[in-house]
Amino acid sequence: AAGVYVETVNLFQDTNLTGAGVGKSIMDGGANGTVLTVYSGNNVTVSGITIRNGSSSTGGGVSNNGDLTVLDSEIANNYASDSGGGSYNSGVLTVTRTTIRGNTGWSIAGGIVNFGSLATVTDSTISGNKVTANYAGGVHNNLGSTLNMTNVTVSGNVAPSGAGLSNSGTINLAN
């Protein structure tokens, strides 16, 4: 349903979260933790939802250890005191037709950190994210990880090094 829901959500089971659309159904972390946490062994789909104002050491907006699909959504204005302001992935992450913007990470990646896992991003925008100390304002793909990006706009991200994309794993890019 449309509305602003100020809460942090921890998912320990398979779940589908369907909202009324970006800017209409809003999960707001109120700067009190990760907005959405998906635990290992769980399949979760998020559709038509804005995830905003999370604050955590890793994954201010989203922390994924399971199998998470994000469709037609927005991950915006989240903060991580370490890495992955928008999203920290150590599971399987699929992002489609989604905007990841305005997120901040202190050490690594304002937008997405893919850590020892698989992330696929399609028809999406990663913009205006920043990292303060190290690298990857937009996306960091870590050693042992695979990142697939197709028709993704990466722009306007800020970092001391590797503002848009930083990679030490396997990456596949297509337009």
Tens digits of pLDDT across the chain (175 residues)? 899 999 999 999 999 999 999 999 999 999 999 999 999 999 999 999 999 999 999 999 999 999 999 999 999 999 999 999 999 999 999 999 999 999 999 999 999 999 989 999 999 999 999 999 999 999 999 999 999 999 999 999 999 988 999 999 999 999 9
3-state DSSP call for residue 66? coil
Residues in contact with 158: Cβ distance below 8 Å, sequence separation at least 6, in sequence order: 110, 129, 130, 131, 137
Cα-only R_g, the chain: 14
Contact predicate 3/25, CB 8 Å: yes
Residue 54 CB burial class (10 angstroms; 0-12, 13-18, ≥19): buried
